[in-house]
Structure 1
Amino acid sequence: MTEPSGAPEPTTERATVQVRRAPKIPAFMVVGGLIGFLATLVATSLFPADPLVGFAALLGYFSIYGVTAGVLLGAIIGVVLDRRSQKSVRTVAAERQVVDAAPLEGELED
């Protein structure tokens, strides 16, 4: 396929970039929160509930602590894994082509 005669030429930029596999910390926080909720559910169901308060209210109250602790623990694990992933950084050569758009007919040029 031929390019129109007025098409701009692409320019190539070369650079070296660092590549590494980094964990997604929000995913660790969500999983930690779910594990914290499940741990709270198990811990709350092991003991008899007060009939005046009820099981659901106790679970909701203690979930505040369990979910918070799980999210915090998940974030700490994610940060530790992120720090460890910085040791396996690879440096590679990257090439990027930049093409400036041709002005359209009737468009003002800068």
Structure 2
Amino acid sequence: MSTAPSDDHDAENETEVRIRRAPKYPAFMIVGGGIGAIITFMLTASFPVDPKVGFAALFGYFALYGVTAGVLVGALLALLFDRMLLRRSRPATVVTELTDPDLAEAERLEDERYAAEDAAAAAPASPASPEPVDGRETPKPGTTAN
């Protein structure tokens, strides 16, 4: 079977694209930040706490670093997955089809208008009125000469 377009109009609406899966970066970063907070909590709880500072303040301080590191690791994992999935992408042909009859009619009329403008621009220009022989400007119809 042939996959050739049925007419020239279909060929104009065809576009070559690449289909691939892509990771959702915000999801990877949020999960990474959450895992960073959990690891920070476990590390803070595993060491003795200074009674002058308290557990909550110590955890809050170290969470700044743990969450930031988790977000960075999540973003790096998303980039790594993006590169791996990019190799597995495949080409495809997309055919755009107008389904709104009013929009299709407007596009057809616009194409006809552009074709008429192109034809008018390609036609040789002929002077509308002959140039005056004596060099004086002749008044246009409906105007008065001073």
Is TM more than 0.5 here? yes
Structure 1: give runs of 5+ residues left out of the alignment: 1-10, 104-110
Map of 1:58 onto structure 2: 58
Using the TM superposition, give the Cα deviation of residue 102 of structure 1 relative to its aligned residue in structure 2, in angstroms. Answer: 6.9
What is the DSSP-based 3-state SS (H/G/I as helix, E as strand, rest coil) of the residue aligned with 1:62?
helix
Greater C-alpha Rg: 2
Using the TM superposition, give the Cα deviation of residue 101 of structure 1 relative to its aligned residue in structure 2, in angstroms. Answer: 7.1
Amino acid of the structure 1 residue aligned with 2:29: M
More displaced stretch, 92-101 vs 43-52: 92-101
When normalised by structure 2's length, the TM-score is 0.59
Instruction: Specify which structure has the higher proportion of helix.
Output: 2
What is the DSSP-based 3-state SS (H/G/I as helix, E as strand, rest coil) of the residue aligned with 2:32?
helix
Map of 1:23 onto structure 2: 23
Distance 2:15 2:73 in 1: 38
1:97 equivalent to 2:100? Answer no
Structure 2: give runs of 5+ residues left out of the alignment: 1-8, 107-146
What is the aligned-residue identity percentage? 47
Higher RCO, Cα 8 Å, sep 6+: 1
Map Cα deviations across residues 47-96 of structure 1 (whole Å, 9 max, x no partner): 11111111000000000000000000110111011011110111111111
Runs of 4+ in 1 over 6 A off after TM superposition: none
Counterparts of residues 5-44 of structure 1 (less than 5 Å):
13-44=13-44
Distance 2:104 2:87 in 1: 40
When normalised by structure 1's length, the TM-score is 0.78
Instruction: Specify which structure has the higher proportion of strand.
Output: 1
CA RMSD, Structure 1 to Structure 2 (Å): 1.7
